[in-house]
Structure 1
Amino acid sequence: MTLLESVRAVADASGDGAIDWDAVAAAAKAATDPGDLDLSQAEADAYAADVRDARERIREVAGVDFDVPDTVELQNRHHWIDANVATFRRAFEPLNERGSLLPGVARTVNTATTAGALAFVSRNVLGQYDPLLLASGDHALYFVHPNIVKVAEQLDTDFPRFRRWIAFHEVTHAAEFGAAPWLPDYLESRLEDGVDALADGDVQRESFRELNVAMTAVEGYAELLMDEAFDGEYADLRRKLDRRRKGGGPFAKLLKRALGFKLKREQYERGKEFFTYVAGERGLAGASRVWEDPEFLPTEEELEVPARWLARVPEA
């Protein structure tokens, strides 16, 4: 499909829902080069080996027993779009159930903006461990191979080393959700509350705030655990990736801000600062207490002043 066909797919958005998800998938893929996924068996096996090594190393360092998904999916950009459209379709179902309240033009705009967002992210995402998938009973880990190859070249770093770094990062998320079986439902319930409110024409700020705080903890703990678990030099990789998160031209920066990339970067930074402080006081095991109970998640205020979390949450 061409970009013209992408526009046509959006213009032809149909159905009674707020978003035509079939048109979203078609339009996003039409606007995106899928990328090369022609891997040898040895190259595919190397991804699996990185995941296994990351699991064992993180189990050892964090003292957390967890499983990684049975299926490790090596994707191109179109595969990633399809997988996330399926997740988004389920997560945003309340909007579609009330779609009759919205005029057709709104459906077209919703479809177009969603397709554009997915197309942009599909060209930038490297790996994904989706907590909302886990809440539905699925268990999958994605690596977008063409993007990993591209970014390794952009960062002028060795591809196998960079691939391994990405594997470790995503497996740290598997460790978090393995340590906190309540976390997927917690996140999904906040998202559902927020979407339900949007469908009723309201903004449920408390739900989105709690979702943001929880994801800040998820990303921050992953950063801390990565530093402890990665079995190689990483300082240069972190510097380069931090520059990439902040970089891009004016248009790319505008898109990143609109799509929440700035928020994502803040989650990494604020979360890492919080857990670095807590681990400095109580060690990694003390920081891991955050996953024992939803009540142990930090509050917005405690993210800013970690000593308040230490005062509230007793040592094990």
Structure 2
Amino acid sequence: MDLQRSVRAVATASGDGSGGIDWEAVATAAKSATDAGSLALTDAERAGYAADVRDARDRLRAVGGLEFDVPAAVEVQNRHHWIDANVATFRRVMRPVESEVNIAFPTVVSVFNTGSMAAVLSFLASHVLGQYDPLLLADGDDHELYFVHPNIVDAAADLGVDYPRFRRWIAFHEVTHAAEFGAAPWLSDHLETRMEGALETLSEGGFDRDAFRELDATMTAVEGYAELLMDRAFDAEYADLRRKLDARRRGGSPVTRVARRLLGLGMKRRQYERGADFFRAIADQRGVAAAAAVWEDPVNLPTDAEFDDPARWLARVDP
């Protein structure tokens, strides 16, 4: 790490970036403040990642009754690789509102925004284990799957669990998202449209409550259905992994807990739990295949009220 270089990159940030963010400075500052971690994989580890992804795909196809494939790009990364990939993602997401932003003091705002974004990416790069990236707002329909190897190794050691089993569990979780987007070709466009609308309204000084509510409902469905498939498809005991990882997410230093709250990671946990309860209730009543009806059409996404009343959703989509 080179904290002086990180501070220098933020302090000299240009005010010409989208939303007042100098993305090149973000990448430099975030990586300078983050230990890249080791990416010295053995042949057995590389083969293990490949086998985990392949087995997850096959199990999820069988259990979920879904037709999908994993992305062509499956990468085992260090933390700096992850930062570079996500700088590109954040930059792409901000592009639609770039021309709408009118900044009175561009240099001051750029330093603040660039530093804030660099801090966010540095924090996340040290905690993210895996990521399925649908490349929202990108040209084309490519999706990517990342595993942050040093974080997986460190987390397994911190939790006191078997590293290959933990790595496999993470692979199953990320491949469930590939299953969802593969089963619902409309999902990327659905998320993009609502994201663009919400961002444009924010850039104009407003707040589109309906757009944010729809985004939250969609992500609750995405995370909750993934939890259901994980429960039914993972081919080993995992209760201890879930318990220990949940405790790790709730714990950490006071600074870590505050950072998680500010980044909305508690909200993501709520999405997991609320969505999982909904889809487990559907699967218990009608089977896992009935839960997959959510991906047949955007109108099948549960409403906020239906998340609390699964029978109401079943009556509407599977009378």
Q: Same fold (TM over 0.5)?
A: yes
Partner residue in 2 for 1:168: 172
Alignment of 1:77-92 (within 5 A): 77-92=79-94
Whether contact under 8 Å (2:137, 2:192) holds in the other structure is: no
- Matching residue within 101, 107, 131 for 1:128: 131
Verify: 1:292 aligned to 2:306, yes or no: no
3-state SS of 1:161 partner: helix
Whether contact under 8 Å (1:177, 1:184) holds in the other structure is: yes
Look up the equivalent residue of 2:314 and give its one-letter code: L
CA RMSD, aligned part only? 1.4
3-state SS of 1:128 partner: strand
Partner residue in 2 for 1:57: 59
Partner residue in 2 for 1:117: 120
Partner residue in 1 for 2:74: 72
Whether contact under 8 Å (2:135, 2:144) holds in the other structure is: no
- Matching residue within 47, 50, 53 for 2:49: 47
Partner residue in 2 for 1:31: 33
Partner residue in 2 for 1:145: 149
Look up the equivalent residue of 2:114 and give its one-letter code: T
Whether contact under 8 Å (1:47, 1:164) holds in the other structure is: yes
3-state SS of 2:135 partner: helix
- Matching residue within 216, 220, 223 for 2:227: 223
Deviation at 1:131, TM superposition (A): 2.3
Q: Deviations over 1:69-106 (max 9, x none)?
A: 12210100000000001011111113432344342212
Range moving further from structure 2, 152-161 or 42-51: 42-51
Whether contact under 8 Å (2:134, 2:142) holds in the other structure is: no
Structure 1 unpaired stretches of 5+: none
3-state SS of 1:72 partner: strand
Whether contact under 8 Å (1:152, 1:162) holds in the other structure is: yes
Whether contact under 8 Å (1:126, 1:166) holds in the other structure is: yes
Identity of aligned residues (%): 63
Partner residue in 1 for 2:214: 210
3-state SS of 2:76 partner: strand
- Matching residue within 229, 254, 258 for 1:250: 254
Partner residue in 2 for 1:16: 16
Whether contact under 8 Å (2:15, 2:109) holds in the other structure is: no
Please give the alpha-carbon distance, in whole angstroms, between the structure 2 residues aligned to 1:206 and 1:135.
24
Deviation at 1:196, TM superposition (A): 1.1
Q: Deviations over 1:191-220 (max 9, x none)?
A: 111111122122222212211110111111
Deviation at 1:66, TM superposition (A): 0.3
Deviation at 1:282, TM superposition (A): 1.2
Q: Deviations over 1:234-261 (max 9, x none)?
A: 1111111221222222211110010011
Aligned length: 315
- Matching residue within 96, 99, 104 for 2:98: 96
Deviation at 1:134, TM superposition (A): 8.4
Change in 2 beyond 3 A, CA 1:159/1:175: same
3-state SS of 2:271 partner: helix
Deviation at 1:126, TM superposition (A): 0.3
Change in 2 beyond 3 A, CA 1:283/1:135: farther
Please give the alpha-carbon distance, in whole angstroms, between the structure 2 residues aligned to 1:135 and 1:83.
13
Please give the alpha-carbon distance, in whole angstroms, between the structure 1 residues aligned to 2:50 and 2:99.
40
Range moving further from structure 2, 78-87 or 2-11: 2-11
Change in 2 beyond 3 A, CA 1:34/1:106: same
Q: Deviations over 1:260-316 (max 9, x none)?
A: 11011101111111111111111101111000000000111111222221222125x
Whether contact under 8 Å (2:26, 2:117) holds in the other structure is: yes
Taking structure 2 as the reference length, the TM-score comes to: 0.95
Please give the alpha-carbon distance, in whole angstroms, between the structure 1 residues aligned to 2:229 and 2:150.
26
Range moving further from structure 2, 34-43 or 215-224: 34-43
Look up the equivalent residue of 2:16 and give its one-letter code: D
Change in 2 beyond 3 A, CA 1:132/1:204: farther
Whether contact under 8 Å (1:190, 1:211) holds in the other structure is: yes
Taking structure 1 as the reference length, the TM-score comes to: 0.96
Please give the alpha-carbon distance, in whole angstroms, between the structure 1 residues aligned to 2:276 and 2:90.
28
Whether contact under 8 Å (1:16, 1:100) holds in the other structure is: no
Look up the equivalent residue of 2:11 and give its one-letter code: A
Q: Deviations over 1:127-173 (max 9, x none)?
A: 00012358642221000000000000011000000000000000011
Partner residue in 2 for 1:270: 274
Please give the alpha-carbon distance, in whole angstroms, between the structure 2 residues aligned to 1:29 and 1:212.
30
Change in 2 beyond 3 A, CA 1:13/1:95: farther
